[in-house]
Amino acid sequence: MQPLQLADRVFTSRLFTGTGKFGSVSVMTEALRASGTELVTVALKRVHADDPGDEMLAGLSGIPLLPNTSGVRNAREAVFAAQMAREALETHWIKLEIHPDPRYLLPDPIETLAAAEELARLGFVVLPYVHADPVLCKRLEEAGAAAVMPLAAPIGSNKGLKTFDFLEIIIAQSRVPVVVDAGLGAPSHAAAAMEMGADAVLVNTAIAVSEDPVRMAQAFRMAVEAGRMAWEARLAPVVSHAVASSPLTAFLED
């Protein structure tokens, strides 16, 4: 599997994860380690980096953190949160999330673009969570986003690749990595996102609320690798029915 270059880092794992909804810190830690993830998003508001006993951060030691701006309502708050995160966690990477509505947690395109422009100008590596809107993704790229993170389905819904037709366009057009975020509820969904050419996926809920998060994390890890390998090997085309066998199958045939 080819490594992923994102901004100035190289990733062996194409499975990004989060820290929400786990039943305990120890389960979370074990699951994230099992996932092989090399980037874990964490809500700034929940981090107490100056607290040496912060159990969560201790458990994740060694795995790079990606602070996110979850909870902010507009661009101004997002920029402020990113600056706080930079200080607290000593990283200029930021997952930009602006979803004012508490019910669906869907991202606001206007505020997100405004914040991305400002944060890029301030030297951040900006990874914006957005609707699967090809025009918005292109504008975010032009504004200096290091990647785009379009959603597959409403966050937490586990519905899978509901935005397939738009992700296809986003992937075809993008010159920055495309990380499919939100709504991937099963390893098969993550594999399918990779098979269509996504550069990475972010999975949180589907791992955290499984009956066995550690095993589910392993399953997602393998599925992401499988999907990426399939993309590299090129999928067989979808056809309306079986085609006649090739000459070789005169003696090799199933």
Single residue of 65, 179, 186, 200 touching its own copies by CB under 8 A: 186
What are the CA-CA distances from residue 114 to residues 71, 99, 128 (Å)? 17, 14, 11
Position 188 contacts its own copies (CB under 8 A): yes
Per the document, the length of the chain is 254
Single residue of 94, 187, 200, 201 touching its own copies by CB under 8 A: 187
Residues 6+ apart with CB under 8 A from 80: 72
Single residue of 4, 15, 28, 171 touching its own copies by CB under 8 A: 28
Closest CA to 181 of 16, 1, 10: 16
Q: The tokens 């920029």 sit on which residue? A: 79
Active site residue 138: no
Contact 180, 201 (CB under 8 A): yes
Quote the least distance from Cβ 46 to its own copies, whole Å.
Answer: 5
d(CA 62, CA 183): 27
Contact 56, 93 (CB under 8 A): no
Question: In this structure, is the dihedral angle defined by the CA atoms of residues 198, 204, 210 and 212, taken in order, positive or negative?
Answer: positive
Position 52 contacts its own copies (CB under 8 A): no
Quote the least distance from Cβ 7 to its own copies, whole Å.
Answer: 21
Q: Rule CB under 8 A: which of 87-116 touch its own copies?
A: 99-101, 103-110, 113
Site stretch for its own copies (CB under 8 A), options 72-80, 81-89, 120-128, 135-143? 135-143
205 marked among binding-site residues:
yes
CA atoms within 13 A on the CB side of 115: 32
144 marked among binding-site residues:
no
Single residue of 78, 195, 198, 200 touching its own copies by CB under 8 A: 195
Quote the least distance from Cβ 229 to its own copies, whole Å.
Answer: 4
Q: Which two tokens stand for residue 71?
A: 């909870």
Binding mask 53-92 for its own copies (x = CB under 8 A): ---x-----------x-x----------------------
Q: 159 φ, ψ to 5°?
A: -85, -15
Active-site entry in 95, 138, 159, 162: 95
Quote the least distance from Cβ 141 to its own copies, whole Å.
Answer: 13
C-alpha torsion 211→215→221→222, nearest 10: -120
Q: Rule CB under 8 A: which of 221-240 touch its own copies?
A: 221-223, 225-227, 229-230, 232-240
156 marked among binding-site residues:
yes
Quote the least distance from Cβ 82 to its own copies, whole Å.
Answer: 16
Q: Known catalytic residues? A: 95
